[in-house]
Chain A
Amino acid sequence: MVKINGNPEDVAGMTLLAYLQREGYTLDRLAVECNEQIVPKNDYGNQLLADGDVLEIVSFVGGG
């Protein structure tokens, strides 16, 4: 199981990019943290989600 924004999800083995696309995220409005580290944008395609990973996906909305 991978914990994503607090919820356990059965997505181990997927790449981060495949998961984000499946969930319909807008990629240029995101910041993704995995196990308390920022994931650089260029690594989304080769970062494999693994059992026990804890992810926080911040999806920004406009306004300021």
Chain B
Amino acid sequence: MAVETIPSRESIQEALELRHTKAVQERISAACVAVCGLGGLGSNVAIALARCGIGGLHLIDFDRVDLTNLNRQQYPIAGLDRPKPEALRDELCRFNPYLDVRTDFVKLDEENIPALLKDDLYICEAFDRAEQKAMLTNCVLTVFPEKYLVGASGMAGYGDSGSIRTRRILPHYYLCGDGVSTLEKNGGLMAPRVMLCAAHQANKILELIIKGE
């Protein structure tokens, strides 16, 4: 029989502590992560962190859900044409109803990044276009050297799971992916390899939250 009432905040927290231990869960529950770009990478990163009981997520994208997104992005048919931040928020709340979610349906650029990201200690770069990845990375590392940035580059195609890895570029900047796979050379973006890369990003963010650098 389906559960009709939503469990209390306390009982959900208790279940998370049972799985993750109380000390670890306290750190996760106190952290807030900005996810910049809510496509194949960002939607999967957000789901992984929300499943872990992250304290807050700041979901940022300027795009609406499209039929060509459903091969790898975590949206349902009912989400088509909706702005991605609110569509993803609704998906997350289905299993983590007390998650603190802030949404911004906006395109990030050098002008608005300083104001929009100032409150988020952990930032996930999950954009699609190489130029956008470079813009966010340069901007965040220059404006906010004290924050933690976890980005991604190279996850197109299929197979060769082991070449997706996490590299430390700077003490506060990590880059996930194989660094080289492109849509042109390796075919399109497919769920398994994009999810592998997103899992690397979520896993590094979690490690930074729990253990520090």
Contacts and interface: CB of A to CB of B under 8 A. Distances in A.
Interface residues of A, number: 18
B98 to A, nearest CB: 28
Given A31-B134, A36-B171, A58-B137, A64 B194 contact: yes
Contact of A64 (B152, B169, B171, B173): B152
Interface residues of B, number: 36
Q: SS class of chain A's interface: helix, strand, loop or mixed? A: mixed
A59 to B, nearest CB: 8
B153 A58 contact: yes
B71 interface: no
Interface in B175-213: 175, 179-183, 189, 194
Contacts of B126: 64
Given A33-B170, A63-B156, A64-B39, A38 B141 contact: yes
Interface in B126-152: 126-131, 133-135, 137-138, 141-142, 145, 152
B134 A29 contact: yes
A64 B203 CA distance: 17
A61 B177 CA distance: 10
Contacts of B189: 63-64
B55 interface: no
Nearest to B41: A64
Nearest to B135: A28
B142 A38 contact: yes
A33 B129 contact: no
B183 A64 contact: no
Interface string B112-134: 00000000000000111111011
A61 B133 CA distance: 9
Pick the most buried of A31, A33, A40, A41: most chain B CB atoms within 10 A of its CB. A31
B142 A62 contact: no
Interface string A15-40: 00000000000101111010011101
Given A61-B154, A63-B154, A29 B130 contact: yes
Nearest to B38: A64
B142 A40 contact: yes
Interface of A: 26, 28-31, 33, 36-38, 40-41, 56, 58, 60-64
Given A60-B137, A63-B156, 8 more contacts: A26-B130, A31-B141, A31-B169, A61-B179, A63-B154, A64-B37, A64-B127, A64-B155
* Nearest 4 A/B pairs, CB to CB: A38-B141, A60-B130, A64-B128, A60-B133
